[in-house]
Homo-oligomer: A and B are copies of this chain.
Amino acid sequence: MRDDSGVLKNDGTINHRKLGRLISTIEHDRQRATELLASMVSDYPSIVIGITGPPGAGKSSLTDGLIVEYRKAGKRVAVIAVDPSSPFSGGAILGDRIRMSSHNTDPEVFIRSMGSRGSLGGLAPASMDVVSLLRNFNFDIIIIETVGVGQSEIDVMKAADTVLLVLVPGMGDDVQALKAGIMEIADIFVVNKADKDGRERLLAELQMIIELNRRQLDWIPPIVETVATERKGVASLVEQMSQRADFVKKNRDTIWRPRVESQIMQMMQEKTGSDILAIFKGHSIFNDWIERILSGELNLYQVLQKIESHLKISWRDENE
């Protein structure tokens, strides 16, 4: 851990206000974010949990239940509530819902919302940055909660060691629609509101999906039933997650290598994007081309070909 920021108080607890401000800084200034995070030594063994699923599945109640369990065990817990459809950061809807619960006064529980507006260059790299920052401040458990199951959410989930896909009985067509992408992201299936009608059908569907994919899987996702509002099944979920954490530790290379590669690619793409923008701003020809597209004289792809012939990307070995 490295801390020049005063986030860590003298008694070892977290100054929430200062941590919040530090997060705002890295959300709004990518260059500063890279510098700051590069200076940190993040070898703290945080466990990063992603919670996703359709609206109404009870993700916030489940998050709340998990916080209670982990606090019982004396863990320091952070929650990042990511809402790609919200432009707000800091105090948005999702975070509020969790914050309103009993953890508000607990100094060892930090809750932060992230919307799409605050994060230049996409939520996925921004949430990755925030996870790295939280790791530096020795959070044992970092929970990333999202609102939906779209592509943005799937990208965000790539920062997690373990992804819980939360479903509820009686979703019918919605589960059908989710099916396709389900195995790609879920490490543990959580059937929440397991006291509702349609439980058996949902369990059978999930078991079928797992069976169909069993041979390609290194990790067979367990199915855990919960009634999060009554705290039922949460302890058993924590137990399953601890098994998953062991698996991730043993298979770190297989699981994380492709993610690290794609994270670097994504971050580089973002960086070159702003470099290109700077180049364009300095050339009036770019403006001329836009005019010609708007007047119908050129199409987008013709301009793209022109730009490609001007732009050169190269690798300098000298300072290697």
> Which residues of A come within 8 Å of B, CB atoms?
33-35, 37-38, 40-43, 54-55, 83-88, 92-93, 115-116, 122-123, 128, 132, 147-154, 174, 176-178, 180-181, 184, 252-253, 256-257, 260-261, 263-265, 267-273, 275-277, 279-280, 283, 285, 290, 293-294, 296, 299-305, 307-317, 319-320
Sampled A-B contacts (26; CB under 8 Å): A33-B301, A38-B304, A84-B151, A85-B178, A86-B181, A92-B180, A115-B180, A132-B300, A132-B301, A150-B151, A256-B294, A257-B294, A261-B290, A264-B300, A265-B276, A265-B280, A268-B276, A271-B304, A283-B315, A285-B320, A309-B319, A310-B316, A310-B319, A311-B315, A312-B313, A314-B314
Q: Chain B nearest CB: distance from A285 CB in Å?
A: 7
Instruction: Contact check, A34 vs B260: say whether CB atoms are below 8 A apart.
Output: no
CA distance A121 to B300 in the complex (A): 17
Instruction: Contact check, A150 vs B84: say whether CB atoms are below 8 A apart.
Output: yes
CA distance A41 to B302 in the complex (A): 10
Instruction: Rank and list the top 8 A-B pairs by shortest CB-CB distance, nearest first.
Output: A150-B150, A38-B301, A37-B301, A84-B151, A151-B152, A269-B273, A38-B302, A86-B180
Chain B residues whose C-beta falls within 8 Å of the C-beta of A123 in the assembled complex: 151
- Determine how many copies of this chain the complex contains: 2
Instruction: Contact check, B272 vs A85: say whether CB atoms are below 8 A apart.
Output: no
Chain B residues whose C-beta falls within 8 Å of the C-beta of A40 in the assembled complex: 299, 301
Instruction: Contact check, B34 vs A304: say whether CB atoms are below 8 A apart.
Output: yes
**Known contacts A267-B304, A312-B315; 13 further A-B pairs (Cβ under 8 A):** A38-B305, A43-B296, A84-B151, A85-B177, A87-B181, A123-B151, A132-B299, A150-B150, A264-B304, A265-B277, A275-B313, A279-B313, A279-B315
Most buried by B among A128, A252, A313, A320: A313
Query: What DSSP secondary structure best describes chain A's contact surface?
Result: helix
Point out the residue from B43, B176, B260, B263 that lies within 8 Å of A93, measured CB to CB.
B176
CA distance A236 to B273 in the complex (A): 43
CA distance A302 to B42 in the complex (A): 11
Chain B residues whose C-beta falls within 8 Å of the C-beta of A174 in the assembled complex: 55
Chain B residues whose C-beta falls within 8 Å of the C-beta of A267 in the assembled complex: 300, 304
Instruction: Contact check, B84 vs A299: say whether CB atoms are below 8 A apart.
Output: no
Most buried by B among A92, A177, A296, A302: A177
Instruction: Contact check, A293 vs B260: say whether CB atoms are below 8 A apart.
Output: yes
CA distance A84 to B303 in the complex (A): 28
Instruction: Contact check, B264 vs A269: say whether CB atoms are below 8 A apart.
Output: no
Point out the residue from B261, B290, B299 that lies within 8 Å of A257, measured CB to CB.
B290
Given known contacts A85-B149, A273-B265, A316 and B305 CB-to-CB distance under 8 angstroms: no
Residue of B nearest to A300 (CB): B263
Chain B residues whose C-beta falls within 8 Å of the C-beta of A87 in the assembled complex: 180-181, 184
